[in-house]
């Protein structure tokens, strides 16, 4: 495993982080037992993954906590999140942090995020809720204050464009992939300047793992005028990352592309399959894609916004 600093937090994190939400939710999404889900977390940790990300909304805090108790707590970096409304008060923050700690069975979390903050709700989070979270941090129950975007509802990343310029945010979670490259231009340069830690989500979604779904997305982009029709002339528009780029699969290329983008600290992956834990970690640890392949990805898809930000759930593929 490779490790790096998480911004200026002082935390040292594995470049591969286990995301405990998404479609799989460690296996809960397919009806796996709690013991099987705990085994997924332990498999990741045993491979050197020390960053574990969960959330109230995922329903996996208890699982992460149960797995964490098998290890030295000081060697793990545990992140959780909660969703707040604009009607919520400072007292709600304290209550939700306490509830997360109880479910996790921990005395503190390393990062507590405001989860999926929309542009319209950002000021309430900054002005009303964040001061309460800072007070909880001063009590030692939270080590660092984070914020995550609501990617499908904010493809232009308006929330983060403001947050990375302001206190008290120390860590941020955002969507980034080889088909959704916006952060490369306006987010990562600033997070590096400010020393804000970055956690990547939506790195691999259905657009990379489902060929039929990928075809439909590309066809729609051509129809909308976002891509030239010639991109469909030679079959799969992303096949070159395997055939010419030497990646083992499109998913492998997607992980490697994100991992080696300047400004990226942790690439989150999620799964409910123990075998997939190792294959995902292996991809994240492989060398960068060839410069010519990266340049082609930038030239072909760098202008796109919000592509591949499908929410958890079954994908719809057009009948052909």
Query: What pLDDT is attached to residue 137?
Result: 98
In a domain, 147, yes or no: yes
Residue among 204, 186, 208, 205 at smallest CA distance from 263? 186
Q: pLDDT per residue over 239-281, tens digit each?
A: 999 999 899 999 999 999 999 999 999 999 999 999 999 999 9
Report in angstroms the alpha-carbon separations of 74 from 5, 69, 92, 109, 288.
15, 11, 28, 11, 31
Say how far apart CA 297 and CA 17 lie, in whole Å.
Answer: 24
Q: Is 197 helix (H, G, I), strand (E, B) or coil?
A: strand
Residue 219 lies in a domain: no
pLDDT (average), residues 208-218: 94
216: in domain = no
pLDDT value of position 311: 74
What is residue 265's predicted lDDT score, i.e. its pLDDT?
Answer: 98
- 276: nearest Cα among 56, 33, 47: 47
Residue with tokens 């994100």: 258
Q: Which residue has the tokens 């797995």?
A: 67
Q: What is the DSSP string of 180-195?
A: B-THHHHTHHHHHHHT
Prior bond to 168 cis, omega within 30?
Answer: yes
Q: Is 232 among the domain residues?
A: no
Is residue 80 classed as helix, strand or coil in its secondary structure? strand
15 dihedral zone (left: phi>0; alpha: psi -120 to 50; beta): alpha
211 lies in some domain:
no
Average pLDDT of the residues of the chain: 96
pLDDT on residue 112: 98
Are 255 and 204 a contacting pair, CB within 8 Å? yes
Q: How far apart are CA 173 and CA 125, in angstroms?
A: 15
Q: Name the DSSP letter for residue 177.
A: B
Mean pLDDT of the region 45-72: 98
CA distances from 303 to 109, 170, 182, 297 (A): 37, 28, 8, 10
> What is the pLDDT at residue 320?
46
320 and 211 in contact (C-beta within 8 Å)?
no
> What tokens does 2 get?
């490779």
Q: Which residues contact 287 (CB under 8 A, 6 or more apart)?
A: 256, 260
User: Is 162:121 a contact under the CB 8 Å cutoff?
Assistant: no
- pLDDT score at 234: 84
Task: Please give the Cα distance from 24 to 268 (Å, whole number).
Answer: 13
How confident is the model over 24-51, as a mean pLDDT? 96
Q: 303 lies in a domain?
A: no
Domain residues for the domain of 122 are 11-205+262-285
Residue 214 in any domain: the answer is: no
Q: 220: which 2 tokens?
A: 């729609």
- Looking at the 3D structure of the chain, how many domains does it have? 1
* 311 within domain boundaries: no
How much is the pTM?
Answer: 0.96
Cβ-proximal residues to 59 (8 Å cutoff; 6+ apart), any chain: 25, 28
Closest CA relative to residue 19, chosen from 196, 299, 280, 229: 280
Residue 8 has pLDDT above 60, yes or no: yes
Q: How far apart are the first and last CA of the chain?
A: 43
- pLDDT value at 314 more than 80: no
Specify whether the CB–CB gap between 268 and 19 falls below 8 A: yes
pLDDT digits (tens, 9 = 90+) for 99-145: 999 999 999 999 999 999 999 999 999 999 999 999 999 999 999 99
Here the CATH number for the domain that contains residue 174 is 3.20.20.100
Model pLDDT, residue 23: 87
């Amino acid at each position: 495993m490779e490790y790096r600093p998480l911004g200026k937090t002082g935390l040292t994190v594995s470049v591969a982080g286990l995301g405990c939400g998404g479609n799989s939710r460690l296996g809960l999404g397919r009806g796996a037992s709690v013991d099987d889900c705990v085994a997924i977390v332990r498999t990741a940790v045993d491979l050197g993954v020390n960053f574990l990300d969960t959330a109230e909304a995922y329903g996996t805090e208890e699982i992460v906590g149960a797995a964490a108790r098998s290890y030295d707590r000081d060697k793990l970096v545990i992140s959780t999140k909660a969703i707040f409304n604009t009607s919520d008060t400072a007292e709600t923050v304290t209550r939700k942090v306490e509830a997360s700690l109880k479910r996790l069975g921990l005395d503190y979390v390393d990062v507590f995020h405001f989860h999926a903050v929309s542009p319209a709700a950002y000021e309430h989070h900054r002005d009303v809720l964040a001061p309460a979270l800072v007070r909880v941090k001063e009590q030692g129950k939270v080590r660092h204050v984070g914020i995550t975007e609501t990617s499908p509802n904010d493809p232009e990343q308006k929330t983060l464009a403001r947050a990375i310029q302001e206190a008290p945010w120390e860590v941020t979670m955002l969507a980034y992939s080889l088909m959704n490259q916006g952060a490369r231009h306006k987010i990562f340069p600033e997070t590096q300047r400010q020393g804000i830690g970055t956690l990547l989500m939506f790195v691999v979604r259905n657009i990379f793992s489902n060929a039929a779904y990928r075809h439909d997305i590309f066809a729609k982009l051509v129809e909308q005028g976002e891509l030239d029709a010639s991109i469909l002339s030679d079959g799969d528009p992303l096949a070159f990352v395997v055939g010419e780029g030497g990646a083992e699969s499109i998913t492998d290329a997607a992980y490697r592309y994100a991992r080696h983008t300047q400004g990226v600290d942790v690439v989150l992956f999620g799964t409910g399959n123990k075998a997939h834990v190792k294959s995902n970690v292996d991809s994240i640890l492989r060398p960068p894609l060839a410069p010519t392949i990266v340049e082609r990805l930038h030239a072909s898809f760098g202008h796109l916004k919000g592509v591949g930000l499908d929410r958890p759930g079954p994908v719809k593929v057009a009948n052909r």
